[in-house]
Structure 1
Amino acid sequence: MPDPRDLLTDASPLIGAARLGKLRLVRLLLEGGARVNERNPQGETPLLAACKALRGEPSGPGTLKMLQYLLDNQADPNAQDRSGRTALMWSCMERAGAQVASTLISAGADPSMEDYSGASALVYAVNANHQPTLQVLLDACRAKGRDLIIITTEIGVSGGSVTKRYLNVLPSPDTSPVPCMSPSDIIIKTGSPNSPDGDNVFNFRGSG
């Protein structure tokens, strides 16, 4: 958990309060004229800072109330920090849970948006191996008429590597996919759902 003394010295009191999960203070600051999409030197907005600080902890009602309050007050769900990462990307990286991902996507967060390394929230969800969150992202893609192909390298019965492809479904939890070593090991293709050349398909290729 971040040290509160460090967070309260943030250039923005609102960002520090959001990172600490102090909803009452966030409300007071916004009502007092603080800007909901203001940024600190790292390019973080209050929403980004709140998601980045989750650190894989179970996201309870308080966390969801904080995020929903910021979103209801026009927080940009697709704002990017200096690395190009969004709140949804950070929530996937930190394994914040499917409810956080669903809250962000319902507010307009784009699961196919890429950071400056070329990785998206979909990539980070695959790397985090968190199936409930990945299911939320898959459903969001399908709702927009897009297809999702996950290509994994798994260990076969003989001990060798076997490549398997999953169209619009998640890999079985009973399989043993080789984890992706870095976001660069996953290839993504995006495009219009009506594209005749199939560019609306997302490709995830696990590297062993």
Structure 2
Amino acid sequence: MGILYSEPICQAAYNNDLNEVQLFLEEDSNNLNIQDSFGGDTPLICACRQGHNRIVSFLLKRNADVNIQNNVSKSKQNENLIKMLLRAGADVNATDNSGRTALHYACEMKNQSIIPLLVEAGADLSIKNKDDETPLDIARRLKFIDIETILKKE
């Protein structure tokens, strides 16, 4: 079934319903950055969580705040989505409640196409999560040699 949100626009973004998202914003522009009462997700976070690039693009064109943080931060990582968020000014070194950055997650997910994008955008390789691990530590622990090589070049 997925996630159920308290904010209808968040649910519409999560469900990839662009028409509904547009209607909610026409009704009240304050819905753009509204945070769901459960996890603090915004419509942008909901769309990112599911990898809905079209909705992400629409929200970014409306100047959705890319740096609002929720209580749990993990979304699908696809190259186009990451590029859009970085171009819109997302803080590449933002950490979630476990101290992880996007680079930590990309290393855990062995995402070799995202890691160079994050590094090029200025990802700090020295940030440690609450387990005292840097992204390189994660790559080593999981024996992701290709990712280790990418990170060592920086």
TM-score normalised by L of structure 2? 0.77
- TM superposition shift of 1:185: 5.4
- TM superposition shift of 1:147: 6.9
Residue correspondence of structure 1 range 3-152 to structure 2 within 5 A: 7=4, 10-34=5-29, 35-41=31-37, 42-54=39-51, 63-83=52-72, 85=73, 90-91=74-75, 94=76, 96-141=77-122, 148=125
> What is the alpha-carbon distance in structure 2 between the residues aligned to residue 39 and residue 16 of structure 1?
11
> Does the CA contact (< 8 Å) of 2:71 and 2:96 recur in 1?
no
Cα 1:124/1:11, change in 2 over 3 Å:
same
Quick check: 1:205 aligned with 2:137?
yes
More helix by share: 2
* Structure 1: runs of 5+ lacking an equivalent: 55-62, 150-181, 188-202
TM-score normalised by L of structure 1? 0.58
Q: Secondary structure at the match of 2:64?
A: coil
Cα 1:43/1:126, change in 2 over 3 Å:
same
Q: Secondary structure at the match of 1:205?
A: helix
Identity of counterpart residues, as a percentage? 31
Q: Figure out how many residues of one structure are paired with residues of the other and give that number.
A: 136
> What is the alpha-carbon distance in structure 2 between the residues aligned to residue 185 and residue 118 of structure 1?
9
> What is the alpha-carbon distance in structure 2 between the residues aligned to residue 19 and residue 204 of structure 1?
32
> Does the CA contact (< 8 Å) of 1:123 and 1:183 recur in 2?
no
More strand by share: 1
- TM superposition shift of 1:113: 1.1
Q: Secondary structure at the match of 1:134?
A: helix
> What is the alpha-carbon distance in structure 1 between the residues aligned to residue 33 and residue 21 of structure 2?
13
- TM superposition shift of 1:53: 2.8
Select the structure of larger CA radius of gyration.
1
Poorly superposed stretches of 4+, deviation over 6 Å: none
Tell me which of the two structures has the higher relative contact order, counting C-alpha pairs closer than 8 angstroms and 6 or more residues apart: 2
Q: Which amino acid aligns with 2:8?
A: P
> Does the CA contact (< 8 Å) of 2:78 and 2:114 recur in 1?
yes
> What is the alpha-carbon distance in structure 2 between the residues aligned to residue 45 and residue 72 of structure 1?
15
CA distances 1:151-179 after superposition (whole Å, capped 9, x unpaired): xxxxxxxxxxxxxxxxxxxxxxxxxxxxx
